[in-house]
Amino acid sequence: MLNRRHFILATGALAFAVSFGLPAFAQSADQAAAFVRTTGDELVSIVNGPGSTQEKRHRLQQVVDRAVDVDTVARFCLGRYWRTATPDQQKQYMALFHDVLLNNITSKLGDYKGVKFQVLHTQDHEDTQVVSTVVTRPNNPPTNVDWVVSQAKGGPKIIDVVAEGTSLRLTQRSDYASYLARNNNNLQSLIDAMRQQVAQSG
């Protein structure tokens, strides 16, 4: 249930290569593109560089904590159940979501050896920017990946990744909702399943 496909979501440092004199929306779009370009470059460096899986996991954790608004994504994925969760359940879920996300990224590292990354263009929306990229791997067709970037917390943060039209956070939200529907809407059951998944990955 919790092991469905996840997408390329290992992210990099902030980049503020913005020209003066541009309109505000252009600044946001350029900032988001520069941020994602740096993100992609760091991802490629980690995946293709030296080091053990554990070393790469540590580097990825630092990158994810810096560049992804994981807490916002986690709350979105839980949907209405976040509001009915107890404070302790919220704390458990949030910590486990971080671990599950990192495990999903780390488990795919070997699949992306030799990966290349290119930024194509950026679309500016009312409160987000969507940076379109193409990711290529040896012996695989190119994958179109959109990075949804929010500036809501004062700087660019990734809040979703859309691979070939499929949203990471919407897919995860659907997975969680389906699991909860099959388990009498018992949030603790989901939390326990996530904990078991993390333990098995460890």
Give the single-character DSSP code of 114: T
Residue 53 exposed, middle or buried by CB count within 10 Å (0-12, 13-18, 19+) = exposed
Q: Which amino acid, one-letter code, is at 66?
A: R
Which sequence spans correspond to the domains of the chain?
Answer: 24-113+168-201
Predicted local distance difference test score (pLDDT) of residue 65: 86
* CATH number at 24-113+168-201: 1.10.10.640
CA-to-CA distance for 70 and 15, rounded, in angstroms?
19
What distance in Å separates the CA atoms of residue 163 and residue 141, rounded to the nearest whole number?
13
pLDDT in tens, the chain (202 residues): 444 344 333 332 222 222 223 334 445 778 889 989 888 888 888 888 888 888 888 888 888 888 899 999 999 999 999 999 999 999 999 999 999 988 887 777 777 788 888 999 999 887 899 999 998 888 889 999 999 999 877 788 999 999 999 999 999 999 999 999 999 999 999 999 999 999 987 6
d(CA 131, CA 161): 10
| pTM for the structure as a whole | 0.80
